[in-house]
Structure 1
Amino acid sequence: MILIELIPYSSFEESYRNLGGLLFEDTLTHPGFTISDHYYDAKETIELIYKKNQNLKEQISYLFDRLDEERKKGLYPCGILYYELGYHFIEGLDLFESNLKEGTPLLHITLFQKKRKLQYKNPDPNEFLNHSITKINPKWPEAKYIEKWKQCNEFLVQGESYELNLCFPVELELIGDLFSVFQSLKTKQKTKYSVYYPMGENSKTIISVSPELFFEVKGDEIKTEPMKGTIVRGNTKKEDQKNFNYLQTSEKEKAENVMITDLYRNDLGRIAKQGTVEVEELFSIRGLSTVWQMVSKVRAKLNQPFTWNTVLSALFPSGSVIGAPKQRSYSLISSLEGMNRGCYTGAFFTSEEENDVPLIRTSVTIRTLEIQSNGDNHNAVYGIGSGVTVLSKPNEEYAECLSKLRVLNNPIPPKFEILETLLVCKGRIFLKEFHTKRMEGTAIRFGFSFSKEKLDEIIQELELKISLKSRVRLLLNETGGFHFESTVLPKRTKRPTIKLCFAKEAIDSKNIFFYHKTTNRKEYDNLMLVCKEMKVDDCILFDTDGNVLETCIRNLFYNQNGTWYTPSLDTGGLPGVFREYLLKKLWVKEKVTTKDDLVHASAILTANSVRGFERVILVRE
């Protein structure tokens, strides 16, 4: 058994750059850390391409038998199975009768002699070498996608298939260090199946942040986790919950998922002991950084010892990236898409054997870059797609496809901590339950480790230690550690009056950090510098439609015709706990607010849980 070695990221990076090899990494299980399986010291590389005049059937069968033998000898066979290898493994299809072009890659496998298992703390993005992702170009504009979708829909209506997974490529350019590209993508999407695979002397590299397990084998147990059903994450808690609820209750998404789950049950039934195929979970919703995914789990016991040929003949490629029925859908997709998918929607695998027990892990190669390099310039292909059924709508499907680009074009998040600013007086925290609930929600949204017990302990500690009226910054880091800083507040004899002006420009409503309280306050800090230049205390933020939101550190309240309102924060702005308290008490109403509403208000106040209410003088240029 290989023990996990805990090392600093800098040591990990240095050793990897010296040793090279393949990384298979889990950034999800332990928030703030990466568990890395590092395979290195390659003994042999095996590549197979399509050749029209060769009997590939026997060659492929022999090759996978050999992988079983090499694994039993103590080697670590790992690699990529390209989607087009489905012509060999899907019953009723034949590579010889396919229309594949000469030289189409079918697989790329490396036999590694060594493996080490490491855990390192996730690095600060400032440690990455220079790199960029540019010129992201979906090869199908929406009009072309809709044209293909209509053809797809005709096949479905005619009963040729029940579901078709329609995909198309996205071309892009990468500049700089590919290892840093890999590390930066992992900060944007945390998964259990991240892969960095330089493929030897052909200047190709595979980078994958796939969230989908294809199958995993431990001894005679096999499990699969078909993933079908996607919707983007919301920025606000309300929007995020709305999208979650939609996915959870969508008949269209559930129909897609159950079809593929049934397909997996049937496929596993061909290689499983009778009565052992079991759907462990159905329609579970899993939150990634950018999207919600619907996942089901199916497990079984193999009816004979694991061999690659037997299992791949039953399962490859994953039904979740083809449709149902499998053979007919695979053929229809080939005619619809009109191009090879390559490594996209194929499978990546690692394999080893321990005490005569095979350990096999495979992921579906979605959210995957296939890269061809020329020095520090790299051309890449990244596939996107979605499952189409008779319940689908073309514009929604195209939007779902584009949502899978977010992992590429979202900015790299900085290192930050989750923050709550508390008013503590005589050992009591004002609005404690509101603060703890908000902190927990933010932790869940960003994938931080969160323990209610640890939070209760730190709160008890600060309540015992702090007796004078104080402002306390309670902080939570990604690994689940709490700490706090306190400042004694001066006595206030009267309610202060502050000067506000409107910000110079609209905020970016897509920036998630405008909706959650964290230490990443760069945008707010820049705005406050402008306020100082204008000799005002704070500025009023607004969206691109001119709707007013909040200030940099305060929520807004204004009186209009005798009623107190607070601006809606659906397009940006932090819902302060004092604001939430006032809304819950029905003392204020939420309303979409314009600049004119504030200009003509009979009174304006700001408030937060530490400062309380403050009168406002609105400064206009």
Structure 2
Amino acid sequence: MNFSEIIKTVLKKQGNAFFYTPSFYDDSKSYLFTDSLRQIDFNYDENLSTKFSEIDSSISDGIPSYGLINYEFAYMLEERFKHFLNSTGGALFKFYLFDKNNVTVFNSNKINFDDNPNNDYSIGEFKLSATKNKYLKDIEKIKNYIAAGDTYQVNYTSSGMFDFRGSIERLILNLIFNQSGEYVAIINEFPKLIISISPELFFTVKGNIITAKPMKGTMPRGINLKTDSINKLKLLDSGKDKAENIMIVDLLRNDLGRICELDSVCVKNKFQLEKYETVYQLTSKIEGRLLAATFSEIIKNIFPCGSITGAPKIRTMEIIQELENRKRGIYTGAIGFYADNKTVFNVPIRTIELDLESGKGLIGMGGGIVWDSNPVEEYNEMLLKAEFLLNLQPLFEIIETMLLENKSIFLLEYHLKRLEETARFFLFKYDSREINSKIDEIVKNSDFSEKYKLRLKLNKWGRISLEINPLKIYCGEFRVQISDKRVNSGNKFLYFKTSNRELYDLQLKSSRKAGFYEALFLNEKNELTEGCISSLIIKKNNKYFTPPISSGILDGCYRQYFLDNNNNVFEKSIFMDDLIEADEIFLCNSVRKMVKVLFDSGE
């Protein structure tokens, strides 16, 4: 089924929902719920036991269902919170029941994303619910509460409001492209549409085993392979982040202990690193063997998830109510479903509430505050959580351009290594066997006497396309010019070969039209970086020099091959004077190999 058709189905009727797991997760399945049989609502003043009994009975009978639990539903579960409740805002907990024939189960690999909707959208007028000054002051208040012994950690949140116009299908597609959360939920709560791209599991139940996986500890991703690896190690070595994580693990172990067999609750994986497009996160996995616990008993004992409250839970939630002084709604509550004899509920972070009539949107952001938290750093981390909406990258593909000659791919190992590293960096699905098979087929059908340019494209969902053309001979002069457009070494797309290269494509077209073979770019530090399709190498006194990766360049396959196979090649920053004074200048790539070029500083 096409992705856009699925979203259109969700939008057709209130209560329709789609739960999606990206295909690079193991055994990924997705669920489309349509035309609910009935809806069970928990309002602020209702008796819980009757409604919970209905839900428990439906699950016991194997009826597929899903639920939405607002954070404020917790106020109905604890006597100390009852005075926080009020009659406005509608149901705090909704549960939808479905006929089995109206629940479609997909292998996520089979969902077709090739029908990309062409319509665009815009997000504007973004405004935080709290000023920076208030946010910083509230963090200081939290630290005072910690000093007084009221709490150890507070998950303090804010929200952002924005205006939305345009294609909802395109927005959702871009969101799941940019944020590979394992627990995606698109739910029609007309007039609201809930779009949750959550990476955090609240709990799952299969048989008598309950599993929780709290998420605490955040570090931004790097801009290239080196800085990304550094940031990854920083998070794994962060005492602060580990301390936050273990506090919440202890809280959830205690919560699960109420509903599990004695001594069965254990931590399976502590401080596991999870990678997303913009951040690294630390998670820990907790398991226990349930007593005869129903769904209602689970919710009564562990909701809300401790990772979005802090510890100790009750007193900390009172502090949250005092300082935030607003409704969180579905954000940090719970969203999940029952189907295929399993229950899966997530913590709805990275979650948007969009009014389909007015176009007004709401997004929540937050983070855990502990004694040694730096208020400014916490504020910046909170803003980082909104990047998945406010700084969406356009859809792009990974590209490799290779030389096929004598029925063999030149530097194939280099290309495949770079392709896989790029796929891992951007969280693209990568199937090495399928890629090698398709390349082998192309090579087998090629003419031994011909040279070809082979272009491989890989999209987010693992779709591979190959285009082969006879290699054209360049007949012009091998002169280069300096582009008047600057690049910035902080742009991560400079370090990877993707279709997001409009600047280079336009410059190459312009340079060729002006009679040049290539154009070289300067970065913000006046360092020469690379050409539009070539790596730069200069020769001086029988030594070769090429810019370092940190200048903002692609690790070209031929460039790396040249470094690996010559002991008189060095990486160093190259400036205009170096270019002018060079004995020889070369541009190289794996298709044209190494080409000597001319540069006239007077042109």
Structure 1 residues 180-209: Cα deviation after superposition (integer angstroms, max 9, x where no partner) = 422331122123311111214xx2221111
Q: Amino acid of the residue matched to residue 81 of structure 2? A: L
Match of residue 313 from structure 2: 326
Match of 1:86 among 74, 80, 104: 74
Match of 1:236 among 206, 224, 233: 224
Q: Give the distance between the partners of 1:405 and 1:15, measured in 2 at CA.
A: 27
Q: Give the distance between the partners of 2:234 and 2:183, measured in 1 at CA.
A: 27
1:23 has 2:17 as partner: yes
Match of residue 382 from structure 1: 363
Distance 1:455 1:37, change over 3 A: closer
Match of residue 409 from structure 1: 390
Structure 1 residues 504-556: Cα deviation after superposition (integer angstroms, max 9, x where no partner) = 32236565433212344433222222223433222222334443321110011
Q: Give the distance between the partners of 1:448 and 1:311, measured in 2 at CA.
A: 36
Q: Give the distance between the partners of 1:571 and 1:61, measured in 2 at CA.
A: 64
Q: Amino acid of the residue matched to residue 339 of structure 1? A: R
Match of residue 451 from structure 2: 470
Q: Amino acid of the residue matched to residue 365 of structure 1? A: P
Q: Amino acid of the residue matched to residue 66 of structure 1? A: E
Q: Give the distance between the partners of 1:139 and 1:546, measured in 2 at CA.
A: 41
Q: Give the distance between the partners of 1:491 and 1:380, measured in 2 at CA.
A: 54
1:135: Cα distance to partner?
A: 2.1
Structure 1 residues 336-387: Cα deviation after superposition (integer angstroms, max 9, x where no partner) = 32322222111112235x6xx5x3211101000122343xx41111111111
1:369 has 2:352 as partner: yes
Match of 1:136 among 103, 126, 137: 126
Q: Is the 1:515–1:572 contact (alpha carbons within 8 Å) kept by the matching residues of 2?
A: yes
1:36 has 2:23 as partner: no
1:317 has 2:304 as partner: yes
1:103 has 2:88 as partner: yes
State the TM-score, normalized to the length of structure 1: 0.86
Structure 1 unpaired stretches of 5+: 1-6
Q: Give the distance between the partners of 2:178 and 2:26, measured in 1 at CA.
A: 13
Consecutive aligned runs of 4 or more in structure 1 exceeding 6 Å deviation = 31-34
Q: Give the distance between the partners of 1:11 and 1:168, measured in 2 at CA.
A: 34
3-state DSSP of counterpart to 1:299: strand
1:195 has 2:182 as partner: no
Match of 1:540 among 503, 520, 527: 520
Q: Give the distance between the partners of 2:486 and 2:423, measured in 1 at CA.
A: 27
3-state DSSP of counterpart to 1:504: strand
Structure 1 residues 379-401: Cα deviation after superposition (integer angstroms, max 9, x where no partner) = 11111111122333233322221
Distance 1:618 1:149, change over 3 A: farther
Report the more deviating stretch, 329-338 or 559-568. Answer: 559-568
Match of residue 163 from structure 1: 153
1:29-428 mapped onto 2 (5 Å cutoff): 29-30=23-24, 35-50=29-44, 54=45, 56=46, 59-73=47-61, 75-89=63-77, 93-98=79-84, 100-105=85-90, 106-113=92-99, 114-119=102-107, 120-124=110-114, 126-200=116-190, 203-308=191-296, 310-352=297-339, 357=341, 359-374=342-357, 377-416=358-397, 418-428=398-408
Report the more deviating stretch, 423-432 or 223-232. Answer: 423-432
Q: Is the 1:165–1:386 contact (alpha carbons within 8 Å) kept by the matching residues of 2?
A: yes
Match of residue 3 from structure 1: none
Q: Is the 1:272–1:300 contact (alpha carbons within 8 Å) kept by the matching residues of 2?
A: yes
Distance 1:394 1:46, change over 3 A: same
The alignment yields a C-alpha RMSD, in angstroms, of: 3.1
Structure 2 unpaired stretches of 5+: none
Distance 1:330 1:597, change over 3 A: farther
Match of residue 591 from structure 1: 572
Q: Amino acid of the residue matched to residue 367 of structure 1? A: R
Distance 1:66 1:464, change over 3 A: closer
Report the more deviating stretch, 511-520 or 479-488. Answer: 479-488
Match of residue 593 from structure 2: 612
| Count of residues in Structure 1 that have an aligned counterpart in Structure 2 | 594
Q: Is the 1:83–1:344 contact (alpha carbons within 8 Å) kept by the matching residues of 2?
A: yes
Q: Give the distance between the partners of 1:10 and 1:338, measured in 2 at CA.
A: 38
1:456: Cα distance to partner?
A: 4.8
Instruction: Work out the percentage of aligned pairs sharing the same amino acid.
Output: 30
Report the more deviating stretch, 427-436 or 214-223. Answer: 427-436
Q: Is the 1:124–1:414 contact (alpha carbons within 8 Å) kept by the matching residues of 2?
A: no
Q: Give the distance between the partners of 1:370 and 1:146, measured in 2 at CA.
A: 26
Report the more deviating stretch, 428-437 or 459-468. Answer: 459-468
